[in-house]
Chains A and B, each alone.
Chain A
Amino acid sequence: MLLYLAIIIRLFYWQVISGNQLAQLASDQYFFNLTLQASRGKITASDGSILVTDKNAYLLYAETKNILNKESVIDKLNETLGLDKQSLISMLDQKNAVWIPIKHKINESEFEKIKSLDLKGIGFAKENDRYYPESSMAAHLLGFVGKNSAGEDKGYFGIEGYYNRALQGKAGSLNMEKDAKGLPIPVAGEKRIPAEDGQNLELNLDRSVQLIIEEKLKQGIEKYGAKNGLIIVMDPATGGILGMASEPKYDPIKYSEYSEELYQNPVITNSFEPGSIFKPIVMAAALNEKRIDPKTKFNETGPVKIGEYSIKTWNDKYNGELTATEILEKSSNPGMVFIAQKLGKNKLLSYIQKFGFGKKTGIDLEEEISPDLRPNDDWKEIDLATASFGQGIAVTPIQMIRAIGAIANEGKIMEPQIVKKITDNKGKVIERKPKIVSTVLDKSTAKILTEMMISAVDKGDAKWAKPKGYRIAGKTGTAQIPVAGHYDEKKTIASFVGFAPADKPKFVILIALREPTSSPWGSETAAPLFFSIIKDLFSYYGLSPQD
């Protein structure tokens, strides 16, 4: 009787209490579950060439119980992969760990080398890694793929960050019954959820334009002794970003070896006082409101007094009677104060906002900022005066080029766009159409201002560097840098903004060099750099001289 009772109790334990656990153990023996990895989407340039794609990589792991000679394994891994011996010892010495990941994302050649060593207890699992055929080209624009807190791949900064969800895809799964040899049993059926590969992105970026501007920027920074610099090239008709370069930059493959500060894209995260490249904006506003015309006269006899302040010319020389066009040609600060006074405070502030300053552009890159504008009531007379020549107002480079792009685009402000097309894993294409944000100027005003900016190039201080036979609209800038409540006398941001060919612009370009030491002036640094780039772009686009 007692024996029967014991058997019943034991049966009850195995079938009821441990039933689920045992069923699970059995299921693990004859079912296998496989995660079907999704490939991360590709990023291509406008010509379809690959900028970023996935490549094969491997996770190197150790099954500690199967390792026969720990010291030999450590030595060989140290020799082949350069892994620190002490780290390997502490990894493999973990007492309760059965399976230890040693290194993620080892490449094919490292995999072949370690595989050939035939080390017992060392295994590989397939992984994906990112491959950049153009190396660190457009690093700030592209961003990089790192790990999130759960150890999963995640895009950070740039396109990888902004479009992370679209690029990452969705892993699938396969649940299938297997026989004693581990082979699938088709009769038993399978549960398969296919992986959805990430979407592919085609950019507006032109590889050749990007290569040109990156090389020129590097040369320019070295030649002019600048601390850092940036160049943006945009199609004013569509807002498509054809090129975006900044130095110093980082290598997205080895991003962890660089300071985190370098991950930020200065085109969208740095603010600066634009200086004279802001003058066309104020001039455009005054023209559009019919407060002035290109021949409106101003008598530049000396500094202009605003309260306790004096507004001087850049060289403290005064040119007598100037037309509005000549105010731009000579980059006259007193002249611009006159223009701003003609326009009036309310209209000036209204146009600053209409041109998109004080709010983000909406560009499809992660981490865009926008410096705030002072509330209208906080603007004093001196603030309006200095804003007329681009000081005392902070903008980002992308805001600046978008605003000038409106002049090149018949007064229409376009949303800057990096991505042109998105293709999903089924081949469905979503085209991002150019987006008109607003119309800020009349077509006629844009045309008049274009002629004024052509004149500023043809007769301004940088005319010596301009390629002959082309109509190029532009403006130089030399902005003082505010430091602890005052302006540094020696340090400047030298800049140039322009578009060409002026009658049917193919591109608008902004160049900014921080603290050039060879000369502080935009006309002697950023301007010649601009013209050097534009010569190459004319050649690349097959644009012959118009004269």
Chain B
Amino acid sequence: MNYRWFLAGIIFLLLIIQVVVSNRISTSGLEINRLQEEIEYANEENRILNEKIASASSLLVLKGKAITQGFAKNSIPLYLSSDLPVAFDLR
């Protein structure tokens, strides 16, 4: 008998909890919608920024900027040999 009362009490408590929780979250659809819109907006912004970064770091763009800023290709590189001249070789 006590066991049945105990079970009934648990069920009643769970019902109350369900009503309270459902009541609380039933109006959070608005918040969910707002958050989803924010996520989408952030994702879109990310995409646009990634596009801008890719564009700005494009070799063709960098080449164009280098030319306008007066950089020129060095056609005669100067090589510093790793071998010392005999006079400097102290071994």
Name A's B-contacting residues (CB within 8 A).
Answer: 49-50, 53-56, 108, 131, 133-135, 137, 178-179, 183-187, 207-208, 211, 539, 544-545
Contacts and interface: CB of A to CB of B under 8 A. Distances in A.
A49 B60 CA distance: 13
A49 B59 CA distance: 10
B79 A545 contact: yes
Contact of A108 (B48, B59, B63): B48
A75 B4 CA distance: 78
Contacts of B2: none
Contacts of A178: 29
B69 interface: no
Contact of B47 (A49, A50, A54, A186): A54
A254 B59 CA distance: 20
A185 B60 contact: no
A184 B29 CA distance: 5
A136 to B, nearest CB: 10
B51 interface: yes
B25 interface: yes
A1 B50 CA distance: 74
A186 B79 contact: no
B68 interface: no
Interface in B30-75: 30, 32-33, 44, 47-48, 50-51, 54-55, 57-61, 63, 74
A183 B33 contact: yes
A187 B33 contact: no
Contacts of A184: 29, 32-33
A134 B25 contact: no
B61 to A, nearest CB: 8
A539 B51 contact: no
A135 B60 contact: yes
Interface string B13-36: 000000000100110111011000
Contacts of B85: none
- Considering residues A108, A179, A184, A545, which has the most beta carbons from chain B within 10 angstroms of its beta carbon? A184
B38 to A, nearest CB: 14
Contacts of A185: 26, 29
Contacts of A131: 51, 54
A56 B44 contact: yes
A211 B58 CA distance: 11
B59 A208 contact: yes
B28 to A, nearest CB: 6
A186 B21 CA distance: 11
Nearest to A177: B29
B54 A187 contact: no
A465 to B, nearest CB: 15
A545 B80 CA distance: 10
Given A183-B33, A545-B79, A133 B26 contact: no
B50 A53 contact: yes
A187 B58 contact: no
B84 to A, nearest CB: 15
Given A135-B58, A186-B32, 7 more contacts: A56-B51, A131-B51, A133-B54, A179-B29, A183-B29, A183-B30, A187-B22
Given A53-B50, A108-B48, A134 B59 contact: yes
Contacts of B44: 56
A545 B79 CA distance: 8
B57 A186 contact: no
